[in-house]
Structure 1
Amino acid sequence: MQESVTQAATTDQSQEHQPGRGRLGPLLCWAVVFADIGTSVYYTPGILYVTVGKLAGFFVLLTMVVFVLLTLKYAEVSARFPQGGGVVSVAAHALNPWFGALGGMFILVDYFLTAALSCLSGIFYFSVVFPALGPNALWITIAVLTLLGILNWIGITESATVSLIGALIAFVSDLAILVTVFSHISLAEALHLFASMFAGNAVTPVKLLVGFGGAFLAFSGLESISQLSPVMKTPRKKVAGLALLLVVVTIGLTSPLLTTFSTLLQPQEATDPLKNSQLVSLLAGHWGNIWLQSEVAISASALLVFASNTAIIGAYHVFMALSRMEFLPSFVLKRNRLRGTPHYSIALATGVPIVVLLLVHGQLDLLGDMYAFGLLGAFSLTCLGLDVVRWRERQAARNRAAALAELRESQQNGHVSREADLALTAESGLVLNGHHGLQSSQQSTHGEIVESSERSYEGWRGLWYTIDFYLGVITTFLVTLAWSINLVAKPLATAFGGSVALLGMGVAFYNYRSHRLMGRLPVPVTTIEDHLHGSILAVLTANNPHNEDVIRTALQSADGRPVVFLYVGEPRVARTPRLFEVVDPYLEDEQAKELFGKAESQARRAKISTRRYVYRPYEPGTIARVWQIVHPHDTIVPADEVPRIEDINPDRISYEISPGGGMQVAHMVKRW
């Protein structure tokens, strides 16, 4: 059957090996992520206090352990999927394009509630300085969201430098509050304060599960690191790892302590319907002075509104990505003539949070309760998808290791198995959890390759990959457990998130069905990591009038064999993407999507069981590289492309004559 996975490596070689101007290093990536996660501490204490009381700080600290494990997986996601997209790319690649669409719905729910919750919380904090704003917080929030939508329509974009300034101000303010509090209480008093959390509070299994599930609100925003992949400097895994290490340190120093002090040192304020949304600023004023209180209130308000704008930007980019994947209608992609911005996507990303605010009448605790569905759903699907990708690679690595062992035995017996020899080509190097443990050169002997492979698979590095894999499985279990708990414990979140997800998937199904009725099916591209012996490789090129002849000939020649459709697109124009933009050249290539859709429709009618779709922007040697990986028996190309194909040495070439007498299609046959 067709492999429904999204191609994970679509960036051009120049971008992979050259950082490029305007790309983000670890510090700026930290700033963007911290400017999102760091705002959670401003509203989490009050919302969590309503559910678990004085144990709010304990549960944030408990969930911090899972957060650290999550950062390990998200660092890998950022490296594996340089096109961005986060959960959409991971789920589509690992499971199925429909799971990618479902992941998109989850993250949209998360973005909608982030925009509403952050903006409303920002207005509440600003009302610490200007109390008259408090009674009108709902309508002021709606006005601010509308203004943010207009600014995005005009074309104001997110700035990593501005994020850095905001993140530094917020972090320094958080540290100033903690220093102020510790200057007034001794270490013994602080320890006694922590112990008092459990006084009269029996931590029952039910409370433990509910608190664990609810405390993930303190770490919302982690998913933004995977959206930064297209603008991240290389090597991405190192950059993302360093950025998330900074996130763990800064969040670990501030979030658990601020939550604990905000709730335990201000029990009356924590139960007040208005003041529990201003706890961090009030803590600064109670233990510091009015100036620190005002500074925290203003900086928190600005950063929260900034986080709301980040959510709007993220949401409309997800809308556009889902539309390019043909799950949402094409009007979502339309740009206005005046500013060149996607006004329909921006309107949806801004309008839904406004509707949500009106439905809950501006109640912050209700927004917090609704938050869990999308956030934890996206976390769970991302973790599961990455586990599936890792498991597949481990299985492939074991198969290759077995082939290498067979080769060694054959060498000792004086002959070499051809199947084992084929396993040693550079294109099918040993892969463990996305790390190439075998990087052989063409000059390496078979014996050297065997020894290198065994060191990579059985040595300390292989041991770490195994530990990393099982840590990932544990992380997936814990996050999915938290999501499952919230599905039951927070029915409002389940009702809202489930309704949005079902509505979105309904639209996706209708859109898919419409394309199918028109004879064009949405097709995800696939990766090719190993040989498909005896297969047909059908090469399609940009703007070639004989592409449909190639499709027809390939399907007629298949005779039950696998068919790989390779589309070679136009050369990519190097540019620096915008923050949170999903950069996948296939999704922007309408001709490629149309041809793949026609090929898929015809392949289904021809009952071709194994069919794969590969997209590559043109580079010298592109076709030859795919040819070397696939090992096809017959490579079918437009006849006029044969002189331009280099590094392919077929045994024979034959041409198919069209009814008009012209040569349209060439067969390049190879017996491997």
Structure 2
Amino acid sequence: MAQESVASTTSEVGHEGSEHNTKNMLGPLLCWAVVFADIGTSVYYTPGILYQTVHGLAGFFVFLTMTVFVLLTLKYAEVTHRYPQGGGVVTVGAQALNPWFGALGGMFILVDYFLTAAISSLSGIQYLSVVLPTLAPYILWVTVAVVILLGVLNWVGISESAKVSLFGAIIAFISDIAILVTVFSHISFGEFLQLFPKMFANQHLTGLALLIGFANAFLAFSGLESISQLSPVMKRPHKKVAGQALFLVVITIGLTSPLLTLFSTQLLPSNILTNPDTSGQVISLLAGNWGSVVLQTEVAISASALLVFASNTAIIGAYHVFMALSRMGFLPEVVLKRNKIRDTPHFSIALATFIPVAILIAVNGNINLLGDMYAFGLLGAFTLTCLGLDVVRTRDWKKARAARQQRLALSTQGNGHASVGSITSTHDLQLSQVEALSNTDTPLRNGSSLPLQEVQKETHGLWFKIDYVLGILTTLLVAIAWVTNLIFKRDATIFGGSITIVGMIIAYLYHARSRRVTGRVTVPVVVTRIEERMPNSILAILKPGDPRNEAVIRAAVNNNEQHRPVVFLYLSDAKARPHTPRMMEIVDPYLDDEQAKEAFGKAESMALNAKLPVRKYVYLQGQPELATQIWQMLHPKDTLVSAADVEENEKIKNINPDRIRYEVTPEGRVAHLLKRW
């Protein structure tokens, strides 16, 4: 089996949010606003870009891809539920597949953010030029100036507000509805129905054309990934809030994006759609052609503001991903440096700002070319997230089924010795302890996955089986779209592939250098459940700043000729951060705990040298009694602690071994708490 690095934490943010800051958490309406303010801007530039490749079929392909978008929302709602620390594809890739897939997911989403910042700001200035035609010759340089200004504002420390997003999202939605009402007031229902066969007139829809159009139309739904970045600031329960927010997203996007794409590509003159100077203004021009100058102006101004706002969201998301990858040990620590004036991560902000600027200049402000380049990161992130979630669901299903079988077997065994409903055997008692711990609202419930009993409940119903099959279908459809773009979107593949390869090379070189220079392996560790049993395993308990940690680690690795699974448990006494995290921030207390990362780094280095096939890393913030709970859950054969802990009886209170064996190492004495379960 491959290495699995996992952690749990009792941080208030990760569990239920800081109690004194829960009033600042986002409910369904504000979450909808943030996501709609991102996805809702796509309709402003998607029709013109799609028209360049699929012509009059743009509306058809947006309608077609809308079905997959609905399926994607089901998976992303579950991502917010399972990964409350945020991070989206970065966290899903690391926990479900491998730490390096987390880094790969980070590169994908960075490509997406770079192009979002570039294309949104450029489209925003194009819409503004409808009101201020004198801007037209200078659109590129005004856009560059706007992106740089956004970077400066982030350096100053001005962050996004969900309430501002709500204001902008409501205006945008009302404007979209006003355009639709205006168009419907000028055409009859019969004329509306005639638009559908008109789409296919003079169009030869081959299988290849269907694939290409389907893949290209995902541009209309870019921004869905932002819901997973809101997990740390989302009200609880995540599942309910995210579900309600995404239901609103589906309704509002479903009412606006497909119809606006259909109307703009069928009711506007073709010269507007083919002209690079006007193809990025089609929604405003649609409002003017079928409504009035007032509506055209209002749409242009609101679209411009919202697009620039979306560009700022992308910059914020990008620099938070840069920081997360650095905290994980994949990028140099300079990325984390903060300036002394404003205490903001100036280097990360500079990267998130000037890479989109360089892209804008490189393509000379060509929005159609930016649209072609967009697909790589967006669909790559979608695919990796969907695949990772399928893997986690499969693991849950298998473990829940095994637990049910074990309960049935123990129940049958118990009935042979006692009356029904009584627990008389040691095995029954142990099982009841594990279930009790899973049911309590302890810090162990916190994590990227669900408590065992909740998993058993969710995986037992018919809906889970339907959702599981739909999830695999969603993964296949998104992967097909991504592969299609990789083959037929040369610019996207070259640009996105280059950024990703360069980023992964930097990550590998920095990771290798860190290991060579410091002797420490820094791996990304994400929150996961820890309720499953691991009989015949070794549990090594580590403490903050304890010089005897290395002795415990060495004993766990060297006394393992049978290559039994090893669980390294780090009990941190650090307190959770008292402030509510910012939007788009990735919250994982382990990544801020340098002592824990150093201890786990030493353990991983020794485990790699010893070629141990299975090792887990568990990180907990809380009281020493948590070690007892982990011991009861895992059922380890050997529990290793420093000898001083046995004498002080602090970290191992209520651990009841059959016998204790002491080992002398160069770093100090280690106690082996042996138990035959």
Same fold (TM over 0.5): yes
Matched, 1:520 2:535: no
Aligned CA distance change for structure 1 residues 542 and 245 (closer, same or farther; 3 Å): same
Aligned CA distance change for structure 1 residues 99 and 439 (closer, same or farther; 3 Å): closer
What amino acid sits opposite 2:608 in the alignment?
R
State how far apart, in whole Å, the 2-side matches of 1:647 and 1:10 are: 20
Structure 2: runs of 5+ lacking an equivalent: 419-423, 440-444
Question: After the TM superposition, which residues 207-226 of structure 1 pair with which residues of structure 2 at under 5 Å, given as runs?
Answer: 207-226=209-228
Moved more, 544-553 or 125-134: 544-553
Aligned CA distance change for structure 1 residues 156 and 366 (closer, same or farther; 3 Å): same
- Asked if structure 2 preserves the Cα contact closer than 8 Å seen for 1:406 and 1:417, the reply is no
Moved more, 267-276 or 122-131: 267-276
Deviation at residue 16 of structure 1 after TM alignment: 5.8
Aligned CA distance change for structure 1 residues 411 and 619 (closer, same or farther; 3 Å): closer
Look up the match of 2:421. Answer: none
Look up the match of 1:355. Answer: 358
Look up the match of 1:236. Answer: 238
Matched, 1:136 2:138: yes
What amino acid sits opposite 2:671 in the alignment?
A
- Asked if structure 2 preserves the Cα contact closer than 8 Å seen for 1:427 and 1:629, the reply is no
Question: After the TM superposition, which residues 47-446 of structure 1 pair with which residues of structure 2 at under 5 Å, given as runs?
Answer: 47-268=49-270, 269-411=272-414, 413-414=416-417, 425-426=434-435, 438=453
Look up the match of 2:4. Answer: 4
Aligned CA distance change for structure 1 residues 182 and 98 (closer, same or farther; 3 Å): same
What amino acid sits opposite 1:622 in the alignment?
L
Deviation at residue 435 of structure 1 after TM alignment: 5.9
Deviation at residue 549 of structure 1 after TM alignment: 2.1
What amino acid sits opposite 2:262 in the alignment?
T
Q: How many pairs are equivalent? A: 653
- Asked if structure 2 preserves the Cα contact closer than 8 Å seen for 1:11 and 1:83, the reply is no
State how far apart, in whole Å, the 2-side matches of 1:60 and 1:162 are: 28
State how far apart, in whole Å, the 2-side matches of 1:351 and 1:456 are: 45
Deviation at residue 339 of structure 1 after TM alignment: 0.8
Aligned CA distance change for structure 1 residues 6 and 132 (closer, same or farther; 3 Å): farther
Match of 2:29 among 22, 27, 30: 27
Look up the match of 2:442. Answer: none
Look up the match of 1:544. Answer: 546
State how far apart, in whole Å, the 1-side matches of 2:451 and 2:587 are: 24
State how far apart, in whole Å, the 2-side matches of 1:550 and 1:658 are: 9
- Asked if structure 2 preserves the Cα contact closer than 8 Å seen for 1:9 and 1:81, the reply is no
What amino acid sits opposite 1:523 in the alignment?
V
- Asked if structure 2 preserves the Cα contact closer than 8 Å seen for 1:110 and 1:371, the reply is yes
Moved more, 519-528 or 319-328: 519-528
What amino acid sits opposite 2:537 in the alignment?
S
State how far apart, in whole Å, the 2-side matches of 1:471 and 1:428 are: 32
State how far apart, in whole Å, the 2-side matches of 1:26 and 1:177 are: 26
SS at match of 2:71: helix
Look up the match of 1:482. Answer: 481
Q: Tell me the TM-score normalized by structure 1.
A: 0.92
Aligned CA distance change for structure 1 residues 457 and 468 (closer, same or farther; 3 Å): closer
Q: Which has the higher contact order (CA 8 A, sep 6+)?
A: 2
State how far apart, in whole Å, the 2-side matches of 1:60 and 1:456 are: 33
- Asked if structure 1 preserves the Cα contact closer than 8 Å seen for 2:31 and 2:242, the reply is yes
Look up the match of 1:634. Answer: 638
State how far apart, in whole Å, the 2-side matches of 1:438 and 1:316 are: 38
SS at match of 1:83: coil
Deviation at residue 41 of structure 1 after TM alignment: 0.3
Deviation at residue 20 of structure 1 after TM alignment: 1.3
Look up the match of 1:15. Answer: 16
Aligned CA distance change for structure 1 residues 619 and 43 (closer, same or farther; 3 Å): farther
RMSD: 2.4
Deviation at residue 609 of structure 1 after TM alignment: 2.9
SS at match of 2:581: coil
Matched, 1:650 2:673: no
Deviations 1:44-89 (A, max 9, x none): 0000011111111111011000000000000000010011000000
Deviation at residue 437 of structure 1 after TM alignment: 7.4
Look up the match of 1:564. Answer: 567
Look up the match of 1:499. Answer: 498
SS at match of 2:540: strand
Deviation at residue 429 of structure 1 after TM alignment: 6.6
Deviation at residue 506 of structure 1 after TM alignment: 0.4
State how far apart, in whole Å, the 2-side matches of 1:228 and 1:352 are: 24
Deviations 1:406-441 (A, max 9, x none): 23443455489977875563179799x96657369x
Matched, 1:589 2:593: yes
State how far apart, in whole Å, the 1-side matches of 2:459 and 2:173 are: 42
Moved more, 222-231 or 186-195: 186-195
SS at match of 1:339: coil
Aligned CA distance change for structure 1 residues 434 and 348 (closer, same or farther; 3 Å): closer
Look up the match of 2:675. Answer: 670
State how far apart, in whole Å, the 1-side matches of 2:479 and 2:126 are: 32
Look up the match of 2:579. Answer: 575
Q: Tell me the TM-score normalized by structure 2.
A: 0.92
SS at match of 1:616: strand
Deviation at residue 463 of structure 1 after TM alignment: 1.1
State how far apart, in whole Å, the 1-side matches of 2:476 and 2:199 are: 28
What amino acid sits opposite 2:330 in the alignment?
F
SS at match of 1:335: coil
Look up the match of 1:447. Answer: none
- Asked if structure 2 preserves the Cα contact closer than 8 Å seen for 1:541 and 1:567, the reply is yes
Deviation at residue 193 of structure 1 after TM alignment: 1.9
Moved more, 620-629 or 181-190: 620-629
Structure 1: runs of 5+ lacking an equivalent: 441-452
What amino acid sits opposite 2:253 in the alignment?
I
Deviations 1:548-588 (A, max 9, x none): 22222322333333221111121223320000000001111
State how far apart, in whole Å, the 2-side matches of 1:168 and 1:74 are: 23
SS at match of 1:278: helix
SS at match of 1:544: coil
Aligned CA distance change for structure 1 residues 435 and 669 (closer, same or farther; 3 Å): closer
Aligned CA distance change for structure 1 residues 598 and 355 (closer, same or farther; 3 Å): same
Aligned CA distance change for structure 1 residues 601 and 66 (closer, same or farther; 3 Å): same
State how far apart, in whole Å, the 2-side matches of 1:272 and 1:218 are: 20
State how far apart, in whole Å, the 2-side matches of 1:73 and 1:540 are: 36
Look up the match of 1:530. Answer: 532
SS at match of 1:587: helix
- Asked if structure 2 preserves the Cα contact closer than 8 Å seen for 1:9 and 1:82, the reply is no
SS at match of 2:205: coil
